[in-house]
Copies of this chain bind each other. A is one copy, B any other.
Amino acid sequence: MESKKVSQKLLSRLPLYLNYLKGLPEWVVDVSATKIASALNLGDVLVRKDLAKISDGGRRKLGYERSSLIRDIEEFLDVNSTTCAVIVGAGKLGQALLDYNGFEKSGLRILAGFDIHPSVQKTDGGKPLYSMARLESFCHCYDVRIGIITVPAEFAQDACNSLVDCGIEAIWNFSPAHLRVPDHVVVQSENLAVSLTSLRMQLKNRS
């Protein structure tokens, strides 16, 4: 299917669909938008429209063939190409992300961690940790396009500036800082305090 421009929100739902489809028992051959919607607590119409945008395989009453739908979503998400990343901030969170194997399935290869003073030379999983002085040559040498920031908030903007100076095009920010970047750089922030507050408020509204 020809690639179309789709919304960020749709993009964020596709990995959920993929995760659900892959997690179904092996004997499940066909799957409907309604079933996916109900399993993921999403609207029926929303899922139907999403799937129609990325796959031609929908059949009246039968729904989608599971394996084709998985293939269509994966093609759309381009999971078979790999983007290289580095992490700035080699503390526990940085090392946890470096050693997490699950990102490769989503097309991300995290090559190394960088820190002002790395306390060790390798993570438990064997990923190298370097001093910041090596960041620029490393990024150029390995065509690194994504920089992941896991330093404390007060150092995050500096880390971000260093990555941008090295030609990084996308920042995945795990610090709570609000980062300023040039227009050509994409930022995605994982603000855990925001998620946490949302969870606490849901808890409060229920009790």
Q: Are A169 and B108 in contact (CB under 8 A)?
A: no
Contact with B along A74-97 (1 / 0, CB 8 A): 000111000100000001110110
Across-interface contacts of A137 in B (CB, < 8 A): none
Q: How many residues of A contact B (CB 8 A)?
A: 60
Q: How far is the CA of A126 from the CA of B91 in the complex (A)?
A: 16
Q: Are B169 and A188 in contact (CB under 8 A)?
A: no
Q: Are A203 and B145 in contact (CB under 8 A)?
A: yes
**With A91-B96, A169-B203, A178-B19 in contact, do A196 and B78 touch (Cβ < 8 Å)?**
no
- Taken together, the copies of this chain in the complex come to 2
Q: How far is the CA of A96 from the CA of B105 in the complex (A)?
A: 23
A182 on interface, CB distance cutoff 8 Å? no
Within A1-46, the residues touching B (CB, 8 Å) are 5, 8, 11-12, 14-16, 19-20, 23, 39-40
Closest B residue by C-beta to A91: B96
Tell which of A78, A186, A200 has the most Cβ of chain B within 10 Å. Answer: A200
Q: Which 5 A-B pairs have the closest CB atoms?
A: A92-B96, A93-B96, A188-B199, A15-B194, A186-B202
Chain A interface residues toward B at CB < 8 A = 5, 8, 11-12, 14-16, 19-20, 23, 39-40, 77-79, 83, 91-93, 95-96, 99-100, 102-103, 105-108, 124, 145-146, 153, 169-170, 172, 176-178, 184, 186, 188, 190-207
